[in-house]
Structure 1
Amino acid sequence: MATKTTGEELSVDEVLTELAALEDPKTRAVNEKHGDDHGVKLAEIRALAKRLKTQHELAVELWATKNTAARLVAILICRPKAFDYEELDAMLREARIPKVHDWLVNYVVKKSKHVEPLRETWFADTDPVVASAGWALTSARVTKQPEGIDLAGLLDTIEAEMKDAPDRLQWAMNENLAQIGIAHPDYRARALDIGERLEVLKDYPTPPNCTSPFAPIWINEMVRRQSK
């Protein structure tokens, strides 16, 4: 039985047709530089999702198309708590496109009752893209619920492995390093030292008025803001 919704009712084909009409070559060119294979502006994806509102069955069908823009819409209109562990695990392992991966973790998995067992499973996975999701969820634990998290052990792993980790896993490890340094004063000096020695993302191009992802700069800037 279809779930009633106050949103606009469109079929999968109608959504795909609308997304195709929103394709912009310049947007695609920019997105492809970041590994995202679609040309629809994120603001337009959000606007479409806002019209549709929550439609979980449609979200499942859109995800099954494997179309990146459609999957982004699906993430925004699904009911995160309606997915079971196996569904979320399979979805994450399919989500090789960076923006889909990021939105799935932040907008769906973090709202799921299965978040902790998924975090533990993904963190230990040998696939670096899957592992990066585990590290991202661990960063959330580091900042919001650090009880039971071995912060010293995380720093040991980061110190040993981050320098040579694949890009997406490296980025997630670096975020973890920064969040430990920001949220836990007892570990801040070590986090800063690891960041300075490894120099990961030290030369990352950072737009004006944005904070560098280089962990020592990131840590010091956030701590400075918190002390105001």
Structure 2
Amino acid sequence: MAELAALEEPRAREVNEKHGDDHGVNLGKLRAVAKRLKTQHDLSQELWDTGDSAARLLSLLICRPKAFGRDELDAMLREARTPKVQDWLVNYVVKKSPHSESLRGEWFADSDPVVASAGWALTSERVVKKPEGLELAALLDIIESDMKDAPERLQWAMNHCLAQIGIEHPEYRERALDIGERLEVLKDYPTPPNCTSPFAPDWINEMVRRRDNP
């Protein structure tokens, strides 16, 4: 904890707080600490239990994902109230867990939009890697009716799913593009030069273009 405190940078905290995160540790330096520590699941749990965001991020880098029980992961997600901790928990731990599909189904329908956003993130993963059994048309129905007025983090997760459906599944591409154009979610999002806009129609068209013209 002392080492993490020494890595705190006021400028990094200022930037992170604009995105809802409450730490100021440079993530490259945090990863260097994790690389040195390697996998230490017991230490990982101690770090998580501190409640400190930087410690929790480090915890997620040195844990053993398959060692967590289903209820444990569910509790961790509901405790992970900052975006970066939630994002790393879902992407670095839950996606590697044998409980990921069970949790996806539960979180997807949760009334808490932060928890639901994790369910949508796992659904996007399935859209790309294992779409069998997913009702893509039904997902588009939900996105069409709910995304426009969804809270920010849930809206981002739904928009990501919309884009992945359009990119990966040509039979639904026209409808995905139409939904994106009509809802205009993230249409005016400031995007740096040479970066792909998160506006779903632009995102879909750009990724399809790259795939067709490598």
The TM-score with structure 2 as length reference comes to 0.99
Give the % identical residues: 76
AA paired with 2:182? Answer: R
**2:72 & 2:123 partners in 1: Cα distance?**
20
Counterpart residue number, 2:23:
38
Unaligned runs of 5+ in 1: 1-15
Quote the offset at 1:45 in angstroms. 0.7
Equivalent residue in structure 1 for 2:85, among 100, 104, 109: 100
Q: How does 1:204-215 map to 2 (within 5 A)?
A: 204-215=189-200
AA paired with 1:78? Answer: C
Quote the offset at 1:77 in angstroms. 0.0
Counterpart residue number, 1:75:
60
Counterpart residue number, 1:195:
180
Quote the offset at 1:219 in angstroms. 0.1
Matched, 1:124 2:76: no
Residues 199-225 of structure 1 show CA distances to partners (whole Å, capped at 9, x for unaligned) of: 000001111111000000000000001
Counterpart residue number, 1:3:
none
Segments of 4+ moved more than 6 angstroms: none
Equivalent residue in structure 2 for 1:158, among 138, 143, 150: 143
Counterpart residue number, 2:99:
114
The TM-score with structure 1 as length reference comes to 0.93
**2:86 & 2:69 partners in 1: Cα distance?**
17
**1:22 & 1:79 partners in 2: Cα distance?**
24
**1:47 & 1:87 partners in 2: Cα distance?**
27
Equivalent residue in structure 2 for 1:65, among 30, 50, 58: 50
Residues 22-72 of structure 1 show CA distances to partners (whole Å, capped at 9, x for unaligned) of: 111011001101111001000011011011000000000000000000000
Give the RMSD, CA atoms, in angstroms.
0.4
Counterpart residue number, 1:7:
none
Matched, 1:173 2:147: no
Q: How does 1:137-156 map to 2 (within 5 A)?
A: 137-156=122-141
AA paired with 1:225? Answer: R
**2:11 & 2:63 partners in 1: Cα distance?**
29
Q: In terms of Rg, which structure is larger?
A: 1
Matched, 1:22 2:7: yes
Aligned length: 213
